[in-house]
Structure 1
Amino acid sequence: MNYVISIIGLLVVLILAYVASNNRKHIRLRPIIVMIVLQVILAFILLNTKFGLIFIKGVASVFEHLLLYAADGVNFVFGGLVPKGGFVFFFNVLLPIIFISVLIGILQYTKILPFIMKWVGLLISKISGLGKLESYNAIASLLVGQSEVFITVKKIIGKLPPNRLYTLCASAMSTVSMSVVGAYMTLIQPRYVVTAIVINLFGGFIISSIINPYDVDKNEDILEVEDIGEKQTFFEMLGEYILDGFKVAIIVAAMLIGFVALISFINHMFSLIFGITFQALLGYVFSPIAFIMGIPWSESIKAGGIMATKLITNEFVAMGDLAKIANTFTPRTLGILSVFLVSFANFASIGIIAGAVKALNENQGRIAARFGLKLLYGATLVSILSSIIVSFVL
C-alpha cells in the first residue's frame, strides 16, 4: 500500500508541475525519467546500504568535528554563559556557521571550490539535459550559498533571458548551503540531511524541466565563472567570510525570534477565538499533501502543521518544532518529514533571492521578484518530490 500511495504522490507532483508549465510542448520526458530513477537509486544507496551508512557516518563525523572546533571559538568569547552539557540554540547551532563560512572561503580562495563546481556541474549537465550554466549554478548554490551563488555568475547575469534566470533562482531556493548543514544536523538526523541534499539537486532540475522547459544553444552556453575571492588577499578574504558567517547567524537568529514569537502569539489568539491553534489548523490544510508523501493519515495532521510552519516561517523553526514532538512519529514518518524540511523553500527566500539578483543587476532583480511565487511553488514541489522518493525506500 505504501508503494501505491508513493506512486500516486509522484504522479500528483508531476501533474502539479505540468499545470504550472510555461511551455508544455517543450517538456522532454527522457531526462526527467532518468533523474527520477537516479533519485530513487541514490536514496536507496544512502539510506539502505552499508556503503550509504559509512558515507553518511563519514559526513556526519566531519561536521561533528567541525562543530567541536567551532565550539572552541564560541566558548572563548562566550565561555561561562552556557553550562557544561547545556544547550543554547544561538551558541550551539547558529554561531558555528561562522567557522563553516570561513572554511568555504578558504576553499573558494584556493580555487578548490570553483574547480569542483565547474566539473561536477558539467557532469550533471550531461544527465539533466540542461545547460552547463544551470548545472554549475546548482552545485554552486549548494556549496557557497543561496545569495552568494549569484556573485559567481555576475559577469553574465545581465545577459540571461528570464527562463534561464528562473532556473538559476529555482536552484538557489531548492538546495541548501553547506554553511548551515552542520546546524541542521544538530536538529534532525544527519542521514536525512545528506540524503535530502543529494536528491534535492536532481529534484530541482526535474521540476524546473517541467515548469520552465527550454533548449540552450551550445554556442551560447558559455560558462563565465567569477572567482569571488580572486582580487583579495588571504586575510581580507578571511575577514569577509567571518563577517558573512556572522551576518547569516544574526539574520537567522533575528528571523527565529520574530517568527517564533509571532507564531506563539497567533496560536494563542486562535486558541482563544476558535479553540484551535493556527498550526493545528494549517495541519489540516497540509495533511493531504503529507498523506501523498507517504505519511500515514493518523500522523498527517501533525506533520502538515510542521510542513506549513516551514513554508510560512523557515526550516529552522519547523525543525525545532519537529524536534519537540519527534518521538510521537514513526521512524518512517520522521524520515519523510525530515527530508521535506531540508530546503530554503519559504516566503523569506523570495526576498533574499530577488535582493541578491537586484544587487548585481537592477532589471534582472525586478524580473526575479515577479516570478517569486512561482519560484516558491516549484521549490515546494521539489521538497515534496524528495520526500516521496524517500518514502519508496524507507
Structure 2
Amino acid sequence: MKYLIGIIGIIVVLLMAWAFSKDKKKIKYRPVVIMIVLQFILAAVLLNTNVGNILVGGFAKGFEYLLSYAAEGINFVFGGLLNADAQSSFFLGVLMPIVFISALIGILHHFKILQIFMRSVGYLLSKVNGMGQLESYNAVASAILGQSEVFISVKNQLSLLNEKRLYTLCASAMSTVSMAIVGAYMTMLKPEYVVTAIVLNLFGGFIIASIINPYEVAPDEDILEVKKERKQSFFEVLGEYIMDGFKVAITVGAMLIGFIAIIALVNGIFSAILGISFQDLLGYVFAPFAFIMGIPWSEAISAGSVMATKLVSNEFVAMDFLTSGNFDFSGRTTAIVSVFLVSFANFSSIGIISGAIKGLNEEKGNMAAKFGLRLLYGATLVSFLTATIVGLIY
C-alpha cells in the first residue's frame, strides 16, 4: 500500500507543478524522467546500502571533527558562561560553529578549490538536466555559498537574464541549503537525512523548475561568467568570511527568537479562543499532503504541523519543534519529515533572495520579488517530492 500511495504522491506533486506551468508545450519530459530515476537511485544508495552508509558516515564524521574544532574557539570565548556540567545552549552549540565553517569555505574559495568543484559539477549537471551551464553552476554554488551569497558569484550575468532564467536561479537558491549551516542541521537531525535531502533537492529543484518554468537557452547565451573580484589577500578573505559567518549566526538566532515567540503567542491566542493551537490547526491543513508522502494517517496531522511550521517560519524552528516535541513518530515518518525540513523553502526566504538580488541589480531584484510566491510554491514542491521519494525508499 505504501508504494501505491507514494506513487500517487509523486504524480500529485508533478501535476501540481504542471498546473502552474508558464508554458506547458515547452516542458522537456525526458530530462524530468531521468532526474526522477536518478533521485530514486541516489536515495536507495544513501539510505539502504553499505556504500551509502560509508559515504554518509564519512561526511558526518568530517563534520563531527569540524564541530569539535569549532568548540575550541567557542569555549575560549564563551566557556565561562556555562557551568562545567551544563548542556551547551542552542546558540553556542548549533549557531556559533557556523562562524568556523564559513571561515573554511572562505579558505577553499581563496585557493580556487570551490570554484573548480562548482564549475565541474555544474557542467556535469547541465548534461543531465537539459538547462544551461549557468543554472547548473548556480545550483551547486547555492548549496555551498548560501541563498544570498550565491548571487554575488553571478553578479555580471544578472543584467543579461530574462525572467525565466532568473526564476530558475532563485528556485535553486531556495530549494537547497548552505554548507555553512549543514553542521548545525546535523546536531538536530540524523546525518543520513540531511545528506539525502541535499543531494535529492539538487535534482528536485531542476525537476520542478523544468515543469513550472520551461524554456530554451541558446548556445550563445549559455556563457558561464563568474564575477571577477578584486584580488584579496588570504587574511582579508578569512576575516570577511568569519564576519559573514557571524552575521549569519546572529541573524538566524534573531529570527528564531522572533518566530518562536510569535508562534507561542499565536498558539496561545488560538488555544484561548478556539481550543486548538495554531500549529495543530496547520497540521490539519497539511495532513493530506503528509499522507500522500507516505506518512500514516495516525501521524499525518502531527507531521503536517511540523512541516507547516517550517513553511511559515523557517527550518530551524521546525527542526526544534520536531526534536523537542513528544510526537513518538515511527522511523519512516521521522525520515520523511526530516528530509522535508532540509531546505530554505519558507516565506522569509522570498525577502532574503529578492533583497540580495536587489542589492546587486535593482531591476532584477524587483523581478524576483514579483514571482516570490510562485518561487515558494515551486521550492515547497521540491521538498514534497524529495520527502515522497524517501518515503518510498525507506
Contact 2:287–2:304, Cα closer than 8 Å, also in 1? yes
Per-residue CA deviation, residues 52-78 of structure 1 (Å, 9 max, x unaligned), is: 000000000000111111111011001
Secondary structure at 1:187 match in 2: coil
Cα distance between partner residues in 1 of 2:231 and 2:172: 27
Aligned match of 1:222: 223
Cα distance between partner residues in 2 of 1:45 and 1:13: 23
Cα distance between partner residues in 1 of 2:133 and 2:84: 49
**Alpha-carbon RMSD:** 0.9
Per-residue CA deviation, residues 9-44 of structure 1 (Å, 9 max, x unaligned), is: 000000000011000000011000000000000000
Contact 1:279–1:309, Cα closer than 8 Å, also in 2? yes
The alignment's TM-score, normalised by the length of structure 1, stands at 0.99
Per-residue CA deviation, residues 239-272 of structure 1 (Å, 9 max, x unaligned), is: 1101100000000000000000000111111111
Aligned match of 1:169: 170
Per-residue CA deviation, residues 149-199 of structure 1 (Å, 9 max, x unaligned), is: 000010111110110000000000000010000000000100000000000
Aligned match of 2:2: 2
Aligned match of 1:68: 68
* Offset of residue 226 of structure 1: 1.9
- Write the letter of the residue equivalent to 1:81: L
Cα distance between partner residues in 2 of 1:15 and 1:299: 25
Contact 2:302–2:327, Cα closer than 8 Å, also in 1? no
Contact 1:174–1:382, Cα closer than 8 Å, also in 2? yes
- Write the letter of the residue equivalent to 1:174: S
Identity %, equivalent residues? 63
* Offset of residue 325 of structure 1: 3.0
2:381 is the counterpart of 1:356: no
2:49 is the counterpart of 1:19: no
Alignment map for 1:201-350 (pairs within 5 Å): 201-227=202-228, 231-325=231-325, 328-350=328-350
Cα distance between partner residues in 2 of 1:168 and 1:32: 17
Secondary structure at 1:79 match in 2: helix
Cα 1:326–1:223 change in 2 (3 A) is farther
Secondary structure at 1:154 match in 2: helix
Aligned match of 2:133: 132
Cα distance between partner residues in 2 of 1:103 and 1:146: 18
Cα distance between partner residues in 2 of 1:322 and 1:104: 29
Cα distance between partner residues in 2 of 1:386 and 1:216: 27
Alignment map for 1:24-43 (pairs within 5 Å): 24-43=24-43
Cα distance between partner residues in 2 of 1:183 and 1:190: 11
User: After the TM superposition, which parts of structure 1 deviate over 6 Å for at least 4 consecutive aligned residues?
Assistant: none
Cα distance between partner residues in 2 of 1:58 and 1:84: 30
Cα distance between partner residues in 2 of 1:185 and 1:361: 35
- Write the letter of the residue equivalent to 1:163: K
Cα distance between partner residues in 2 of 1:84 and 1:302: 36
Secondary structure at 2:159 match in 1: helix
* Offset of residue 384 of structure 1: 0.2
Contact 2:198–2:342, Cα closer than 8 Å, also in 1? yes
Cα distance between partner residues in 2 of 1:70 and 1:227: 31
- Write the letter of the residue equivalent to 2:218: D
Cα distance between partner residues in 2 of 1:244 and 1:202: 28
Cα distance between partner residues in 1 of 2:338 and 2:50: 21
Cα distance between partner residues in 2 of 1:318 and 1:92: 18
- Write the letter of the residue equivalent to 1:383: S
* Offset of residue 324 of structure 1: 1.5
* Offset of residue 327 of structure 1: 5.8
* Offset of residue 329 of structure 1: 0.1
Cα distance between partner residues in 1 of 2:300 and 2:70: 37
Contact 1:283–1:301, Cα closer than 8 Å, also in 2? yes
- Specify every segment of 5 or more residues in structure 1 that has no aligned partner in the other structure, as ranges: none
Contact 1:138–1:168, Cα closer than 8 Å, also in 2? yes
Cα distance between partner residues in 2 of 1:368 and 1:54: 40
- Write the letter of the residue equivalent to 1:126: K
* Offset of residue 326 of structure 1: 6.4
Cα distance between partner residues in 1 of 2:336 and 2:225: 38
2:52 is the counterpart of 1:48: no
* Offset of residue 231 of structure 1: 2.0
The alignment's TM-score, normalised by the length of structure 2, stands at 0.99
Cα distance between partner residues in 1 of 2:16 and 2:57: 36
2:100 is the counterpart of 1:87: no
- Specify every segment of 5 or more residues in structure 2 that has no aligned partner in the other structure, as ranges: none
- Write the letter of the residue equivalent to 2:142: S
* Offset of residue 81 of structure 1: 1.4
